[in-house]
Chains A and B, each alone.
Chain A
Amino acid sequence: MKEQERSPKMIHDVLVIGGGIAGEEASLNLAHMGFTVLLVEKDYSIGGKMIHLSKVFPTLDCSACISTPKMSETSRHPNIKIMTYSEAREIKKSKGLFEGKILKKPRYVDEDSCTGCQLCEEVCPVVVPDQYQYNLVGRKAVYIPFSVALPKLAALDIDSCIRCGACEKACPAGSIDFSQEPEEIPFQVKAIILATGYNLFDARKKADYHFGQFKNVIHAMQMERQLVPTRPYNNVLRPGDGRIPDNIAYVLCTGSRDKSVGNPICSQVCCMYSIKQAQLVMGALPMADVTIYYIDIRSFGKGFEEFYQQTASMGVEFVKGKIAQIEEKENGNLILHYEDIENGGKPVTAEHDMVVLAVGLTANSGITAEFINQEIALDPFDYIKPKDRIVNPALTSAEGVFAAGTATGPMDIPDTILSAGDASAEAASYIRRLE
């Protein structure tokens, strides 16, 4: 650990924790108003989950096309300082100001000299599953996280690195630095916005679906990656044997509205993203059949119901009945068990060659434990609890701490933007009152 005296204290108006679409939106709003923002992102790049999506419902806008402008504007704004691969620690309120440390984790690549040329990536002999492609393909131990990563810098994954030194020799800028260590930099801000987003439900918890065991059972983010322009296989393929699937099933409410796996609430987006993916699959694989198994279709937003009706009239089959269990045949096809509720309620099975689990959202609110003398209240599902969900949805139980986006509960992208706007406005008004 480097001595703290060497790192001068960072003084900003607002600390925004989380560099996804909510964090970016909130940061930009505040920066435009003239406040200085410190944006801390735990991952190598800002962009959050949205940058990895194909298209967004119900407009079918290209997700990357509408989120990259926000990303680059955030990174170029003079009032915003971005710290990636960093985490906020030991946050304390004293005399109306928040103080704490930013833990800057070692990237083992010098951020100032790296040009993102990818020569290191070419020579690296190690291949491990690529988390940004949701393990569909491999990546190197030293790598550019993804094509539109921001900052576009290499990062070295020390856990899978074999320390052969090939990257060090190949790097023309001499940016590989194995001697980097974690650094703690103190900060002082007037307000904090928590925009830590959500986690995907771990589909392995729903044991009857055998995710991770049956190769042709994938989760929706994996399907999403197969539908983007930067998709790993350049086509939609089933992972088991690389065949093009022609009979795809969507299993809704995987890990949502399910007490038996510990998440009794609706994730709000799975119905719509599955319907959207069904449309995209029909575009990518015109001959494929798509069936969506649902408990209820919740298409509650503006234009959502029309989008659902349009998808149904395009030929996507909607079947009422929650999938109880999945079995695998020798050829990799899957047998789905459900009750055919709308046709007399018989227990039936259906065969599909690929199954997409519409995984739900779960809370990602671990940051609240870093508040030393403040309590950030959580709801029963571990999302950050708004002070008043009706009239003050962006206020948390601690004064000066605000929450934006899915940190407060499941919501879609338009709602996230609204929520981030609310949080930034509340933060601005709070700071003005403080002055």
Chain B
Amino acid sequence: MKINPQFSLDIKKYGGMDLNACFNCGSCTAICPLSTAESSFPRKMVRASVLGLEDKINCSLDPWLCFYCGECSETCPKEADPGGLMMALRRYLTSLYDWTGLSKKFYTSHAWEFGAIALVSLLVITLFALFLPPTADPTGLLNQEGGVKINSFVEGMEGEQFVGIIDIGDWVMGGIISLFLLSNIFNMFRKVLWRDKNLKIPLYLYLQEAWNLFFHFATQISFSKCRDKGYWVFHWLLMSGYTLMFTCIVILLPWFQTEKVHPFFHPQRLIGYYATFGILLATVLWSVQRLKKSQEKHRYSHITDWLFLILLFLTALTGILVHLFRINGMIYPTYYTYVVHMAILVPMLVIEVPFSKWTHLAYRPVAIYLHHLKNSALELAQKQQK
């Protein structure tokens, strides 16, 4: 087994704390409600990081099985912050799975992270300015409910033309994001599962264990094992709101962005309100907690943690503002807020979803799936040996 003494220093770029302080007492693993006999963490990951056992770390799923309740760091007698290390390892693994190398740049360089967001943001604004300017003649832009005809406020476009263009843009963006994210997930499969040539996994097991993927994505049930159940609730609110909204704006945009202002109880509006509520509540709550630093898991904030919260908050805020301006018939505020909304939303999705903190939406359930798959395959192998 190869060691890399440089690793414990390198991991600090991803937010790892003073892991050399660890004296291997095992308090962290013993107090962790998610640590089990099959995958026992975080002490082993601390040890592996101190020694720089990259072979072991790179194929490990343990960082993804940790949901960072912070109890390990609270109980650590050396204040070596094992929970923070697991967080840093998730960032490190995200960079490792990403074959483009962008992820590593975004995580370890402020210039790259901010630069990329600013670049995409400017691109969006430029495209709007050049090709989708606001109409010079605002007459007839209000519908019979008194709201702004949102698909007609662009110069020279009527009816479904504008939403059609945005929809095509969405599908292109969705395609690019999926291409990167799926290829990164493929990379994860390769590093975690297929590098071990001795592990034989029959095809039916992939299907048999696939329910884990959907179940854990939808319920995030592992969170419920952490002592602080409140965090699970808020995280679920945020995740469900975000997923609903993502589906509405990327896949169902023509249904979501209509000329007509629907009545309050129309599902289109209810979904929008639910998602906005969930996202705003969770992002504001966690921002306050990150500022107060009263809880262990909020004590140390990586720049990407802040960007994640701020971009998400601003997206939801501008989104709901577009809606409010629209139903009140304020034409130009609706247009400009719409542009700002897009200038925040697009970089957030393009940068964060395949390369940065948002990846955990995919990696966590995939990791749990792989974990079950691996264990089932091992069990099967044992049975066959007997």
Interface residues, chain A, CB within 8 Å of chain B? 208, 253, 257-261, 264, 295-296, 320-325, 337-341, 344-348
Contact = CB atoms under 8 A, between A and B. Distances in A.
Of A324, A325, A348, the most chain B CB neighbours within 10 A belong to A324
Nearest to B25: A322
Given A325-B30, A339-B26, A341-B24, A347 B77 contact: no
Interface stretch (B34-42, B172-180, B246-254): B34-42
Contacts of A264: 77-78
B30 A345 contact: no
A321 B30 contact: yes
Given A325-B31, A345-B40, A347-B32, A259 B26 contact: no
B145 interface: no
Given A295-B25, A322-B25, A339 B77 contact: no
B44 interface: yes
Interface string B72-107: 001111110000000000000000000000000000
Contacts of A320: 26
B79 A339 contact: no
A339 B23 contact: no
Nearest to A336: B30
A297 to B, nearest CB: 13
A260 B75 contact: yes
A208 B25 CA distance: 15
Contacts of B77: 253, 257-261, 264, 322
B327 to A, nearest CB: 52
B30 A260 contact: no
Contact of A339 (B29, B74, B78): B29
Contacts of A260: 74-77, 79
A324 B27 contact: yes
A322 B27 CA distance: 6
B43 interface: yes
A293 to B, nearest CB: 10
Interface string B10-29: 00000000000001111111
Interface string B88-131: 00000000000000000000000000000000000000000000
B78 A347 contact: no
B40 A346 contact: yes
A345 B79 contact: no
A324 B30 contact: yes
Interface string B314-346: 000000000000000000000000000000000
A338 B40 contact: no
Given A346-B37, A346-B40, A347-B37, A338 B30 contact: yes
A345 B28 CA distance: 12
Contact of B30 (A253, A295, A296, A347): A347
Per CB-CB distance, the 4 closest pairs between chain A and chain B, nearest first, are: A339-B26, A324-B30, A322-B25, A258-B77
Contacts of A341: 24, 26, 43
Interface in B293-318: none
A82 B333 CA distance: 87
Contacts of B30: 321-325, 337-339, 347-348
Contacts of B29: 324, 339, 345, 347
Nearest to A258: B77
A349 to B, nearest CB: 9
Given A257-B78, A341-B43, 15 more contacts: A259-B77, A260-B75, A322-B25, A322-B77, A324-B27, A325-B31, A338-B26, A345-B26, A345-B29, A345-B40, A345-B43, A347-B30, A347-B35, A347-B37, A347-B40
Contacts of A261: 77
B88 to A, nearest CB: 20
Tell me the dominant secondary structure on chain B's binding face. loop
B207 to A, nearest CB: 31
A321 B76 contact: no
B375 to A, nearest CB: 15
A321 B26 contact: yes
A253 B23 CA distance: 13
A323 to B, nearest CB: 7
A261 B23 CA distance: 16
Contacts of B32: 347
A208 B71 CA distance: 11
A410 to B, nearest CB: 16
A341 to B, nearest CB: 5
Contact of A337 (B25, B31, B43, B78): B31
Contacts of A339: 26-30, 40, 43
A356 to B, nearest CB: 18
B76 to A, nearest CB: 7
Contacts of A345: 26, 29, 40, 43-44
Contacts of B25: 253, 295, 321-322
A259 B25 CA distance: 13
Contacts of B31: 208, 324-325, 337
Nearest to B23: A295
A55 to B, nearest CB: 29
B38 to A, nearest CB: 9
21 contacts: A253-B77, A257-B23, A258-B77, A259-B78, A260-B75, A321-B25, A321-B26, A322-B27, A323-B30, A324-B27, A324-B30, A324-B75, A325-B31, A338-B27, A339-B28, A341-B24, A345-B26, A346-B36, A346-B37, A347-B32, A347-B36
A296 to B, nearest CB: 8
Contacts of B36: 346-347
Contacts of A321: 25-26, 30
A338 B44 CA distance: 14
B82 to A, nearest CB: 12
B229 to A, nearest CB: 18
A259 B79 contact: yes
B60 to A, nearest CB: 14
A320 to B, nearest CB: 8
Nearest to A321: B26
A320 B77 CA distance: 15
A344 B36 CA distance: 12
A415 B30 CA distance: 36
Contacts of B76: 259-260
A320 B29 CA distance: 13
A345 B29 CA distance: 9
A345 B46 CA distance: 13
Contacts of B26: 320-322, 324, 338-341, 345
B122 to A, nearest CB: 47
Contacts of B27: 322-324, 338-339
B167 to A, nearest CB: 50
Nearest to B44: A345
A177 to B, nearest CB: 50
A208 B75 contact: yes
A296 B26 CA distance: 12
Of A320, A337, A338, A339, the most chain B CB neighbours within 10 A belong to A339
Of A322, A323, A338, the most chain B CB neighbours within 10 A belong to A322
B225 to A, nearest CB: 13
A322 B44 CA distance: 15
A337 B30 CA distance: 6
A412 to B, nearest CB: 22
A361 to B, nearest CB: 16
Contacts of A346: 36-37, 40
A258 B32 CA distance: 18
